[in-house]
Amino acid sequence: MVDLSQYLPILIFMGIAFALSALFVFAPMGVARLTGTHNPTAEKESEYECGFPAFEEPRSQFDVRFYLVAILFIVFDLEAAFLFPWAVSFLELGWAAWITMMVFIAELVVGLVYAWKMGALDWE
């Protein structure tokens, strides 16, 4: 027979975590409802961006190049995240780590050149 009493502290912890997360989600909504800040008007419900009405439909599709630039930004941001710890400790890591990082940077350069040649970085 398995003794399930060992799991009681975990269940208590999960119950407290669930209660606190529900409190943090629903308490502000309840306070806003009770204090009268929930008073929708046409001006409050109108969409705006940077202080003036939107130029076009908010559900319009973005150009694919926007996503490509965003993905390239993430790739090179991750490269910086990998490059910094390596640069701090590359003297202790030896030649194998240096060669590995040079291969990694070369792959990124090839990808950047490919994206550049394909016109992914051209903006109209």
pTM of the model: 0.46
Which domain does 65 fall in, by range?
Answer: 4-117
**pLDDT tens digit string along 27-69?**
998 888 888 766 777 877 776 666 666 666 767 776 777 787 8
**pLDDT tens digit string along 74-121?**
888 888 888 888 888 888 888 988 999 899 899 989 988 988 888 877
104 in any annotated domain: yes
pLDDT for position 23? 96
124 in any annotated domain: no
Number of domains forming the structure of the chain? 1
Output the domain CATH number for residue 69: 1.20.58
36 in any annotated domain: yes
How many CB atoms are closer than 10 A to CB 57? Answer: 7
Give CA–CA dist 114/94, Å, rounded: 31
Indicate whether 1 pLDDT > 70.
no
33 in any annotated domain: yes
